[in-house]
Chain A
Amino acid sequence: MTSRLVVTPRAKPSMTVRAGVPFVALLVALGLGAVILGLTGAAPLTVYRTMFDASLNGARAIERTLTYATPLILTGLAAAVAFRMKAYNIGAEGQLFLGAIAASGLALQLPAGTPAVLMVGAMLLGGALAGALWAGFAAVPRAFLGTDEIITTLMLNFVALALMNYLIFGSFSFWRDPTRPVPQGNTIPDSAAMPVISGRLHVGFAIAVALAVLLWWVLRNTTFGFRVRTIGDSPRAARYAGIGVPFATLAVLAISGALAGVAGAIEVSGVTNRLDPKSLAIELGYTGIVIAAVARLNPLGVVPVAIFLAAIATAGGSMQSIGVRVEVVVMMQGLIFLSVTAGEFFVTNRIGLRPAGPPEPAVTAAAADALEGAS
């Protein structure tokens, strides 16, 4: 008698499954990774120790990971909120650049003696506005003319990158420090630097987490959130229910752009301290889409996924210093990320063996009980 694999959804995964599956998935990834590392001549345990030390072990390592995660949380939220309404904003990358341009511009323009709270506040607000405006270029045609926002938001990324490059490399703009032999942005005043929580970790991380909680609450508990979810589930039903779809679309894309813009402002204020195209154009916006997808568009889920990805990224760099080739590093990173995210399947589904034979009656135990009771 043969048997076959069956996949049945778990109604409610237990805590053991919730916590256990990612852990086992990580072990599987590390086991496979050890084979790859071994074949390339590296000592797997040394490599894993180095990765752990670089990303999670100790205050400095955790600061590094959380600092790296900060813009990823925000671009993840930017994607999550828009995608929840099926407005596919692929433009967080460009909106982040605009946020950085606006924030660094404000920091250089406002008097250096401005109190830090006002200065940083203005930068965050300016970044949010610039991101929202940039998203608006795609949002208005989408809301009122039905233009495909995937194309427009994507294209605007290239425009934003060209603009940022122009300000630093292509001209002697107000953003550029003319005294430097290699094109670099002007350094923002000290009062524009994000206050520090510990070491290199700045308050921007706390802001990102707070925005995640706020967004989660808004989507869950407000009329606006209800509208967004309804439009996402069925635009036609939403229209029938009298929801103003165009304005909700505008609002959601503006919020999405603003979140990405804040990410740019926080990077300038907390990390680069100048408009620095080369360190900003590392695909933080596109990575946010991956994060949002893995987090199933749940704003609270975005935070751990972004931190996890940041930890992998931070760990990756350290491997090269001990002789692991970059290609192997990226393979290892992909292996870990894939395993842990694929493990999610086993959290929500149960896989079992069933002997081949007549199909089971299509009634559940509960239904059978109910039938019995009725008879």
Chain B
Amino acid sequence: MRFTSPTRLAAVLAGAALLAVACGSDDVADVADTAAPESAVDETASAATAEATAASGDFSDLKVVMILDGSAEDGGWNTAHKKGGDMIADSFPGATVEFVEEIAPGQTATNAFEDAVTSGADMVIGTTFYQDDMLGVAAENPEVIFLTWAGFTTAENVGHFDGATEDGRYLDGMIAGMLTESNIIGYAAGFPYNEVNRAANAFTLGAKSVNPDVEVQLVYVNTWFDPAVEQQAAEALVNAGADVLAHEVGAQVYATVAAQAGGYVIGYTNDWSQIEPEAWASSFLFNWGPYYVSQVQAMVDGTWEPALTFGGLKDGFIDFAPYGPAVTPEMLEMVETKREEIRAGTFDMFAGPISDNTGAVVIPEGDTVPFESRTECCQWLVDGIIGEIPG
């Protein structure tokens, strides 16, 4: 749900306003209270905040504005970025960090970047593909530093960042491969493009590394977030025999559907360990905080340089939610070993030979997808995935 559209404003929220008008001031207070809920998943995730070392000094002149395309409380993508923003606030005492939520790309985003600058921001961070909406604003405001997710055109005051989902996905795949009894894993993805395909490939490679008989049933649901459609996809995957559900979309339905079916669920930068504790298996989490803090620190020190940053496990960009009760210590040990190998660079998940699911060799023996060119991969699905890239 996006509240960027003025329709909702007129239709839905006029209702809320009416309520506020009709009721006494106590009720207004209630409305105001519910308007600022605490994060439901705050405590559960990583120890990222603990890693943050508070810089000394007073940073009350420092302001960072973070622009999000959804709710900061979505329990997934945006919540991960919000944690990163909170880490900035923790690391720079006195600094102001504001979150601008529900901003669709396009003119709305351009205005939001402009408003952030007007409000006195020293740094503005966009957490989705806002590059084309903000380069103009950045050019007009050379004294402000801008960062956006997955952009590729830098400028004197513009840098971009992206995370290597596949580093986490491989390990989640291992868990799924060890947990499945039917040897069928369901995987719902949004749209077929490089990052999504690459993550599904890494997941499948991980699953097959521990369980060669496993099949990953992949469906593209053609949405970013649509609980009704995702529910159908999740149920269809269960009906196809999947006893572990993974996803790269957004809704929480995979957890509930997996729980009802007595199976397991793997998140996409989610922590549903408190929501469906029995069904919960694992999820990698994006850990943007250390990167954000390093960027703010460089800005404060005057050493900030524009860069394209692509970070994986070794860079601290990938973290993990608590594992579910079904994950045994033996499983954890295997995952832990692999995690250390990926971190140390001694294991390369894309080392050839790798075939796609039509039997064609896509990465020959001795070849690989180097870390720095990973974003150019993949327009193929690895052997073991039941599904195809449409179009």
Q: Which residues of A contact B (CB under 8 A)?
A: 32, 35-36, 39-40, 50, 53-54, 60, 64, 67-68, 72, 162, 165-166, 169-173, 180-184, 200, 271-272, 274, 276, 278-284, 286-287, 289-290, 309-310, 312-314, 316-318, 320-323, 325-328, 330-331, 333-335, 337-339, 341
Contacts and interface: CB of A to CB of B under 8 A. Distances in A.
Interface of B: 2-18, 20-21, 25, 28-29, 31-32, 34-36, 65, 69, 71, 96, 98-112, 114-116, 118-119, 121, 129, 132-133, 150, 152, 190-195, 220, 222, 375-376, 390-391
A330 B3 contact: yes
A106 B191 CA distance: 25
Contacts of A289: 7
Nearest to B68: A326
Given A170-B192, A172-B391, A338-B14, A32 B121 contact: no
B118 A318 contact: yes
7 contacts: A39-B29, A169-B191, A183-B193, A287-B5, A313-B6, A320-B98, A339-B17
Nearest to A323: B98
A290 B118 contact: no
Contacts of A54: 111, 115, 118
A165 B193 CA distance: 12
A333 B374 CA distance: 43
A184 B222 CA distance: 15
Given A290-B10, A321-B98, A40 B4 contact: no
A333 B104 contact: no
Contacts of B192: 169-170
Given A286-B5, A321-B100, A334 B222 contact: no
Given A321-B98, A321-B121, A327-B35, A278 B375 contact: no
Contacts of B104: 278-279, 281-282
B116 to A, nearest CB: 5
B112 A279 contact: no
A309 to B, nearest CB: 5
Q: Is the interface of A mostly helix, strand, loop or mixed?
A: helix
Contacts of B116: 321
B100 A334 contact: no
A278 B110 CA distance: 14
A67 B10 CA distance: 20
Question: Which of B6, B21, B121, B192 has the most chain A CB atoms inside 10 A of its CB?
Answer: B6
Contacts, number: 199
Contact of B390 (A170, A182, A309, A317): A170
A50 B193 CA distance: 40
B106 A271 contact: yes
B195 A181 contact: yes
Nearest to A333: B9
A165 B17 contact: no
B21 A36 contact: no
B17 A334 contact: yes
Contacts of B110: 200
Question: Which of B4, B28, B32, B391 has the most chain A CB atoms inside 10 A of its CB?
Answer: B32
Given A36-B32, A279-B105, A318 B119 contact: yes
Contacts of B96: 323
B129 A182 contact: yes
Contacts of A173: 391
B390 A171 contact: yes
B216 to A, nearest CB: 20
Contact of B21 (A32, A290, A341): A32
B322 to A, nearest CB: 28
B88 to A, nearest CB: 15
B7 A317 contact: no
Contacts of A170: 191-192, 220, 222, 390-391
Contacts of B7: 283, 286-287, 289-290
A287 B190 CA distance: 27
Given A287-B5, A320-B99, A181 B152 contact: yes
A276 B105 contact: yes
B193 A317 contact: no
A290 B11 contact: yes
Given A67-B107, A184-B129, A327-B36, A334 B10 contact: yes
Contact of B3 (A312, A318, A326, A338): A326
A182 B150 contact: yes
Contacts of B3: 326, 330
A72 B109 CA distance: 17
A299 to B, nearest CB: 19
Contacts of A183: 191, 193
A68 B100 CA distance: 19
A210 to B, nearest CB: 21
A68 B193 contact: no
Contacts of A50: 118-119
Contacts of B98: 320-323
A108 B132 CA distance: 18
A171 B177 CA distance: 30
Contacts of A271: 106-107
Contact of B194 (A181, A310, A330, A338): A181
Contacts of A326: 3, 71, 100-102
Given A309-B6, A333-B6, A317 B111 contact: yes
